[in-house]
Amino acid sequence: MVAAVRVYGSDQTHFVDTYAFLDGGSNISLCTTNLMQRLKLRGTEVTRKIEGVAGSKHHQGFVVAMKLKGLQETDLISMPSVLAVKELSSFNASIPTNEVVSKYNHLSGLNFPEISKQKVEILIGADVWQAHVIHESVEGEPDQPLALRTGLGWTLFGPEPRTSGSKGYAVNCVQSANDILYERKKRMFNYDFPGNSQVSDAPYSVEDKQFPQKAETSITKLNGHYQRELPSKKDDLILPDNRSRKYLTSMCKLRIAKGS
């Protein structure tokens, strides 16, 4: 979901036209430092840890404030806290064009403003929810793109089969240098299944604390072998000794096999 926008700095006399990516899965908004410089903005220098599907990475940047609106919209949307970083992931392949629109009958009548510099320089997270509000939608077939009118104007969402194969595949994530595939997969697994992580910040329950003590005190040596009680919530639980039953069962099977 990419839209053409006009971005303003501290006042509305100086602006830059560029593209913005609507990322509802992010809780922070980002822009490039190059855009910050073109808008002549000054911000507070910070270091922020940004987490993504590929792991986490500390980014040095500047927190700046700006306002923006869709090129065909009139309402301004405030973005009081935007982290300016050196680079954003490439979303250029998702920029909607009128060439794509002309291929689908259900998109006829829609017009997408095109900017000469085909580059996404802003990522708008859920912290600026006004930009994500859907006011209208135009649907086609299941394998065709959906047109959505957001707070920043019309954008496209969904598959574009005629061109997606040549553009490759993209996953919105934070890329970190010198990170091997094994470490990335392990972090993804531990994120989805935190109970399997070797390190846990969760406190021990009462039963968790009692189990090691019970296991240690119940260990005995019998006929040269060590044994201990099975862990149970009931202290008075007595299980039947089925060792003799197993022995009798095996003897009966042996006699049947011999025909006796």
Say how far residue 69 (Cα) sits from the centre of its chain.
26
pLDDT for position 21: 92
- Which one-letter amino acid corresponds to residue 155? T
Give 190-219 pLDDT, tens digit per residue.
666 666 545 444 556 666 767 777 777 778
Q: What backbone torsions phi and psi does residue 196 show, to the nearest 5 degrees?
A: -90, -5
What would the mean pLDDT of 141-163 be, rounded to a whole number?
81
pLDDT tens digits along 93-128: 788 888 888 888 898 888 888 888 888 899 999 889
Q: Residue 186 — very low, low, confident or very high, per pLDDT cuts 50/70/90? A: low
Q: pLDDT at position 193, please?
A: 64
> What average pLDDT does range 150-168 have in this prediction?
70
pTM of the complete model: 0.59
Q: Where are the domains of the chain?
A: 2-192, 206-258
Q: Which CATH architecture has domain 2-192?
A: Beta Barrel (2.40)
DSSP run (H or E) holding 256: helix 243-258
- Confidence (pLDDT) at 177: 40
